[in-house]
Chains A and B, each alone.
Chain A
Amino acid sequence: MADNGGKKITLKSSDGEEFEVPEVVAMESQTIRHVIEDVCAKNSIPLLNVNSKILSKVIEYCKKHVAAAEAAASKASTEEGTAAAASVTKPSDEDLKTWDAEFVKVDKGTLFNLILAANYLHIPGLLDLTCQAAADMIKGKSAKEIRKFFNLKNCISPEEEEEIRRENQWAFEEEKRTRAFDAYA
């Protein structure tokens, strides 16, 4: 990615490590974007929720996606005609998808921390990618297998299940009344 002397921001992880990144990369996080835009002169942003291992992964993701977006934009502006541009950007879309797929091939703990980080930092693309990876881990498993896989000890009684179902049904009815959307029985 071209280092054109753009503004740099320092992100500080919960365990005290500092990461200097171009502002445009940091702004992939909407949380950080708000801090930069609202609080003006902020050179070092502490992220108490994210440790250095996870923060470096997050930054890796943001750098890759900013670079991909810039490459696509510059190709589109230099190619003559949109048809040519469309056929050129397609292969790089595939490349990015492949990169993303590799990116989430991490251990469960790291994946979950990435989900939490993406959520806290408001990075929609990363949240989507990591949640999908977690959803894929649940696919095809029985309740017993899920508990074993995620090391969960809790359980739930049929009565509790029914209570939660009713609560959500009640909430659904309320929303229906206030927002007037079509019924789905």
Chain B
Amino acid sequence: MKMALDFVSMETAALEAEAENHLLHPYLDLYGDVLEAVMTRVPTIDLISASRISREWCCAVRSSLRRQPRRSPWLLLRHLCHPSSPIFSLHAFDPFSSSWLSLPQNSPSSDKKSQGTMLFLCGSTGDRLHSLSLSSMLVSEDPFGTAWRKEMKAPKVWRKDAVVAEVGRWIVVAGGGCPMVLEEGEEVGAVEVYDKHTGVWESAEPMPEEFDGSTSATWLSVAASDDRLYVMERETGLVGLFDPRTKRWGPTCKPRTDPNVQSWAIAIGHDERLLVVGVSPACESTTKMRFWEVNQETLQGSVSKLDEEMPREMVERLFPSVEGEYATWQSCLVEVCGTQRGGYVYNPSEIRNGAVLYEFAEEKGRIARRWEWVPLPERVGEIGMGRIEFGCSAISFDELASVWKKR
């Protein structure tokens, strides 16, 4: 009993001290733990202003981000407003506050020689804007296209619709070779690797012959880890694994077979795995989308053979049910982009239907713990013309703050 009373008197002394402190600071001063608790609920973009208020507020913001990091990747949208102009607008979706940010209009600056279309390349640290022309290649260093690598020489083989990916310290360009302009020894499925450290392009083993007929980006879904490039044929689900260090391809295989699946896609998964997605079009029932996780090295499924279906209402967003005679015409293509935290699934032939966000679950027993439909930002949805492309990247608070400062 005495110990308990001591506890109470200690508590009382502490309370008195805190009460006095409270009187000295006017009510408008939230501080410490409480201020941090507020910051944890503030949208990421607003944390930028909040971090510039005072030392207290800055500490609260940084501490909140450190203790509850916002790791889910953002969805990036590059909108080419007019088919004939290289000017594009970039929009970014924050999964934390479920809202879109629009960045100022952009165009490759006039002093840069490359005037090719800005597209996303699949990157191990996040998708990045790039453009490829006959003579040069430009790759963005940040997710927003505000900082650019020194202009690179173009790869040797002239390509259209190649697979372009950033795999750790390498940039890999595969396929897309134009049959009409190939030189002696060059192939449609040619692969070249650029080492960012040496600044040199080197030829690599061409794409495996199993990919013949589908060696361009239109037919392929791509994922990049720090040391491997994974290329999957959309129609068949065949996967090839490329190592930029050895410049060789591993054996190809089909990680999953499912006769109902019409279109396959691949992305980096949780916990050193790959995420494989397959969409089965509606025949008697509704369209289904299935997810599997496979090992990055062996391309085989885990022992538990875990697979999951996307919730029906989400599938409906991407593949709305069509009644009547057009029902069988509905194109069923799927694409996925993401990181080891989560990502976005969408229908590349109906991009205006938006994307579906997924976040990987920490616990075993299921793949995703959150599904959310992401419609296009209003401004983009309204404009009829123009081409939209999706990309995905983790975005750090500092990257966001520096871009926001520049606008």
Contact = CB atoms under 8 A, between A and B. Distances in A.
Interface of A: 14, 35, 38-40, 46-49, 108-109, 112-113, 115-116, 119-120, 127, 131-132, 134-135, 138-143, 145-147, 150-152, 154-156, 160-161, 164-165, 167-168, 171-172, 175, 182, 184-185
Contacts of A135: 38-39, 41-42
B43 interface: yes
Given A48-B12, A151-B28, A184 B54 contact: no
Contacts of A39: 4-5, 7-8
Contacts of A112: 27-28, 30
Given A143-B49, A154-B54, A161-B51, A131 B19 contact: no
Nearest to B125: A185
B27 A109 contact: yes
A185 B51 CA distance: 19
Contact of B53 (A48, A113, A146, A165): A146
Tell me the interface secondary structure of chain A in the complex. Answer: helix
A108 B396 CA distance: 31
Contacts of B398: 165
Contacts of B16: 48
A156 B57 CA distance: 9
Given A49-B19, A146-B49, A154-B55, A131 B37 contact: yes
B62 A168 contact: yes
Contacts of A48: 12, 15-16, 18-19
A116 B22 contact: yes
A134 B28 contact: no
B59 interface: yes
Interface of B: 4-5, 7-8, 11-12, 15-16, 18-19, 22, 27-30, 33-34, 37-43, 46, 49-59, 62-63, 65-66, 69, 71, 125, 340, 394, 396, 398
Instruction: Tell which of B52, B56, B396 has the most Cβ of chain A within 10 Å.
Output: B52
Contacts of B49: 138, 141-143, 145-146
A168 B66 CA distance: 7
A134 to B, nearest CB: 5
B30 A154 contact: no
A160 B28 contact: no
B134 to A, nearest CB: 34
